[in-house]
């Protein structure tokens, strides 16, 4: 039962949306919420205001301050415009790029945002149609813009939409800009939003020319063009999961020499309803099922999938028995890091100034692969904006050659500053061709990496807790883990705890505490055990979830032992889950 104080507060807030400052359709929907006997929907729509998380503004579409609609999108755009006008007051012309995905209302929100920017005297480069998130990041840098936005809710279910805000380096905003933009947004009243009065001459449409420039630059990433020339007919089934990947990935792959790209016609349909999947997320095996079926029918070698805004990349490969297995995000990143470093070393392109980046919840094996080859790997918070932040700090001093996160995100290039499924697809196809050139399947290559650098297995588990009560439950769970630290996981003693809220690490072996050097705090807890198991716990910044990231270690002496070592890792992960109570 909701408290009467909250209901009064929410009701008063909702009634302000009945004024003629809001359009008739909005007023009608708000009145319907007020009239309903069950006040749950009313409370969920108005109990708080949407805020920027690790991925920007994201929420369920509908009326209300806690929903994505033309007013929350408009307020975000007006607030961003106000901030840009202050930050770049000396510039003659401030410029932004606007992109959007396939979601319901995405084009409308993009066009409204372009109108608002232009009404504020800001030049808006609006893509002619849906485009991948990484191409928006690319265009910001290419056109020397000060900011940009992408209308998307990434891989979330169809009822969601969102708003990613980018800065002049093509990366999503980080402190202090994110908090400053939110402060500006919070100062915006509905009557301040310049929905009308836009200057059409300040809106320029972007199209095929930008696509061609992007693909041309992506081709420079290739490390084994000879292998692709010999094995470019590798069968690759690709599905965009109804999203923006279809606008660029097949073309980019073909431009790089891959001649046998097989589509999944049902999932090429651009639709915010995502009719063939429950969740348009390559992390979800069910989303990949149609592509795997197509690969089996066509005797293809690989399966690729991207999420609706085409920043996440998922891959499936054939195992030693010819069956398809889906790689997790850590495995994909391990292979990409290994391949880039190995080929650059073979080509004499490692100078000692190269570096890679991973997030704190990503497999530590990527660090082992990097450092054993003399390449430093930096660690940062979850969210690609933090990887981009490291790139910004080291620009002109060191050479970025790759980085990523376990949630199916990887970036191989420095001319984009967000995860890029397009370059990941090109390079992963190249890995398969290169492995074939070396007498291996891609599955055997993965096993060989484990033999050389050590075996690891990772599993991510998300516990969903919807709404206000869910947020309270997640907060209580995090408090419990902090107040009652875990002492043993899967029979192994916990020897190190890292708490990124306190920015403190506790070394239990020597009973010492030290400071974690990070740019800001984050609600993440990590446990490390004597036998190398690592557990990370964090609430999602963009979804109603608390996430658990589990990594267990072992030794793999040969490919022949892989199945038994893998099975033992599965059992260990099961025990870890029991010990965590999930």
Q: What is the dihedral of CA 377, 527, 315, 307, to 10 degrees?
A: -100
pLDDT tens digits, residue range 556-565? Answer: 999 999 999 9
Question: Residue 451 pLDDT more than 50?
Answer: yes
- Averaged pLDDT of the chain: 95
Burial class (CB within 10 angstroms; exposed 0-12, middle 13-18, buried 19+) of 175? exposed
2 has pLDDT over 70? no
Q: What is the pLDDT of residues 276-316, one digit of tens each?
A: 999 999 999 999 999 999 999 999 999 999 999 999 999 99
Superfamily of domain 213-453: Alpha-D-Glucose-1,6-Bisphosphate, subunit A, domain 3 (3.40.120.10)
Integer Cα distance of 377 and 408 in angstroms: 18
**Residue range 140-153, pLDDT digits in tens:** 999 999 999 999 99
pLDDT at residue 183, rounded to an integer? 87
How far apart (Å, rounded) are the C-alpha atoms in residues 503 and 518? Answer: 7
Tell me which residues are annotated as active site. 154
Task: Write down the architecture of domain 455-580 according to CATH.
Answer: 2-Layer Sandwich (3.30)
- SS3 category, 162: strand
Residues ≥6 apart with Cβ < 8 Å to 482: 499, 501, 525
> How far apart (Å, rounded) are the C-alpha atoms in residues 112 and 147?
16
Contact status, residue 420 vs residue 311, Cβ threshold 8 Å: yes
Q: What's the confidence (pLDDT) of residue 125?
A: 98
CB 279 within 8 Å of CB 157:
yes
Residue 190: how many CB atoms within 10 A of its CB? 15
Residues 6+ apart with CB under 8 A from 349: none
Question: Are 557 and 514 a contacting pair, CB within 8 Å?
Answer: no
Asked whether the predicted pLDDT for residue 544 surpasses 90, the reply is: no
pLDDT digits over 114-169, tens only? 999 999 999 999 999 999 999 999 999 999 999 999 999 999 899 999 999 999 99
- Structure confidence by residue, pLDDT tens digits, 49-80: 887 655 578 999 999 999 999 999 999 999 99
CATH class of the 48-206 domain in this structure: alpha beta
Give the per-residue pLDDT at 52: 64
* pLDDT tier at 492, thresholds 50, 70, 90: very high
């Amino acid at each position: 039962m909701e408290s009467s104080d909250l209901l009064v507060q929410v009701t008063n807030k909702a009634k302000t949306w009945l004024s003629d400052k809001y359009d008739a359709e909005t007023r009608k929907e708000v009145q319907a919420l007020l009239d309903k006997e069950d006040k749950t929907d009313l409370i969920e729509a108005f109990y708080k205001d949407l805020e920027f998380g690790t991925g920007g503004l994201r929420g369920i579409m509908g009326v209300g301050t806690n929903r994505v609609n033309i007013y929350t999108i408009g307020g975000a755009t007006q607030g961003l415009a106000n901030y840009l006008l202050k930050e770049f007051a000396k510039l003659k012309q401030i410029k932004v790029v606007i992109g959007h995905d396939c979601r319901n209302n995405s084009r409308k929100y993009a066009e409204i945002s372009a109108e608002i920017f232009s009404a504020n005297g800001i030049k808006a480069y609006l893509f002619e149609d849906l485009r991948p998130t990484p191409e928006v990041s690319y265009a910001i840098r290419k056109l020397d813009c000060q900011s940009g936005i992408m209308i998307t809710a990434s891989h979330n279910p169809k009822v969601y939409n969102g708003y990613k805000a980018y800065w002049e380096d093509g990366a999503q905003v980080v402190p202090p800009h994110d908090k400053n933009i939110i402060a500006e947004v919070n100062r915006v009243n509905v009557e301040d939003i310049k929905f009308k009065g836009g200057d059409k001459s300040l809106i320029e449409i972007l199209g095929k020319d930008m696509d061609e420039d992007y693909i041309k630059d992506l081709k420079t990433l290739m490390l084994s063009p000879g292998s692709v020339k010999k094995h470019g007919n590798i069968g690759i089934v690709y599905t965009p999961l109804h999203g923006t990947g279809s606008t660029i990935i097949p073309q980019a792959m073909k431009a790089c020499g891959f001649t046998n790209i097989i589509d999944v016609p049902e999932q090429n349909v651009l639709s915010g309803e995502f009719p063939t999947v429950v969740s348009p997320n390559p992390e979800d095996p069910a989303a990949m099922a149609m592509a795997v079926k197509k690969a089996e029918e066509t005797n293809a070698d690989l399966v690729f999938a991207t999420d609706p805004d085409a920043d996440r990349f998922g891959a499936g490969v054939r195992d030693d028995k010819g069956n398809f297995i889906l790689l997790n995000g850590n495995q994909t990143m391990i292979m990409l890091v290994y391949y880039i470093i190995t080929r650059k070393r073979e080509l004499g392109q490692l100078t000692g100034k190269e570096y890679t980046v991973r997030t704190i919840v990503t497999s530590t094996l990527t660090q082992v692969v990097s450092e054993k080859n003399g390449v430093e790997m930096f660690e940062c918070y979850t969210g690609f904006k933090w990887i981009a932040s490291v790139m910004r700090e080291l620009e002109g001093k060191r050479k970025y050659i790759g980085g990523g996160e376990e949630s199916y995100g990887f970036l191989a290039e420095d001319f984009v500053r967000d995860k890029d499924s397009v370059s990941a697809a090109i390079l992963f196809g190249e890995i398969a061709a290169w492995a074939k050139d070396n007498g291996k399947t891609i599955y055997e290559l993965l096993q060989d990496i484990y033999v050389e650098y050590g075996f690891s297995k990772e599993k991510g588990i998300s516990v969903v807790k919807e709404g206000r009560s869910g947020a309270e439950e997640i907060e209580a769970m995090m408090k419990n883990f902090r107040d009652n630290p875990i002492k043993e996981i899967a029979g192994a003693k916990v020897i190190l705890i890292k708490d990124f809220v306190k920015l403190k690490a506790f070394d239990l072996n020597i009973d010492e505490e030290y400071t974690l050097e990070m740019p800001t705090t984050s609600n993440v807890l990590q446990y490390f055990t004597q036998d190398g198991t690592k557990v990370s716990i964090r609430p999602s910044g963009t979804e109603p979830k608390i996430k658990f990231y589990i990594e267990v270690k072992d030794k793999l002496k040969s490919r022949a032992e892989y199945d038994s070592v893998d099975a033992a890792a599965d059992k260990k992960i099961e025990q870890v889950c029991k010990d965590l109570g999930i």
